[in-house]
Structure 1
């Protein structure tokens, strides 16, 4: 049984899980044959998927460094964290400021188990089982509250997670609930898959057999998730072109990820 009371037999390994597909495509080892098959199908449907995932990781690194170094934030709430991939969010943040506190949230017990083994016991990090569809439960979770003080600025990380919410899940309302829990001076870091640059119907079909569907959205649709925030330059951009620190690799113009960083409006 995991620390959150989830039995091992409740971990679904019969269907691919987005976090484990992501791990496989990034070259990780924490995945199953079902995830590997789905990853291979996804790569066949969208040949740039691996550079796209690396671009998304690069966006995450740059965004975290910005909100810590330039924004002065010392608390990060990372929802949909996925399986540990070095450098992890707390490692990136601690390179800039060792006093940053990070709370991770994921709905996969395997992610929780790996996080428990990885994270420090000094009170600067925590990981909880939680579902983005229930944002109030995340904000009120005692292990989140132990690390995050919602009276002080927080950077909310929703990186490659909102596209697993259907329109029926009302993602805009979910993000608004999380936004309203944040004080002024907080930030939203969000990336989202899109079909604006290529037909990704076949890629979506791979996720129809997984534990979560892939819901591609346009630039205008994703930008609406930043309501109540002010986007910083360059606004909502393809992930490899958001404040790049090196020339984006060939093929980046086809990468179907938008990324943006925004400050909560005073």
Structure 2
């Protein structure tokens, strides 16, 4: 049943992809990068080998998004629930941002990419946080694609923290209850200075949000594929963009 549903959702695999079209390109694409471990297991490799290969897909998709005219790319790199994984795997995942940025930061700067991050940074290892903050600082003046890493991020926690902030402001007399609306809530989220994603992509065949941007994805188009993240190519990314272009976004209207 899942494969039948995926077949409907991931429709364009046999259709030609027009790489030159830039009309109706989603401003903000969010991706749940899934399937690294299963990709590795399928090849008789340790899970960390899948994560290492997945790092290469980050570079491919970032440049593909930039070339297509996407303005914001948010990648779900590590969730607040991922700490439950084996310590060896978590330790390796915490080293990946350092390895990726050491290898690719210069090229990201040449491509005018601005690096950002959202998540609960006080819980990250110091070396991981230092590498990310260094990348954010060195790319702050770049004016091209914004590459936003969701690291130690969880949407339910994000929304609870936003509600607490609003409640504190009401209690302190800084805010009236009548001023609370969707726009205010959005600005209190970790992604408050970004537009909501227009398109969500999830790899590996799973069809769920996994506590990712639950508020922000309310009206996003969704595209699921059975392709594991390490195998996700520029062509797959453009398939998702072309499917997005075929859809009519009505936001509840006609």
Q: Shorter-normalised TM-score: what interval?
A: 0.3 to 0.5
Q: TM-score scaled by structure 2?
A: 0.38
Which structure exhibits the higher relative contact order, with contacts defined as CA atoms closer than 8 Å and separated by 6 or more residues?
Answer: 2
Q: TM-score scaled by structure 1?
A: 0.37
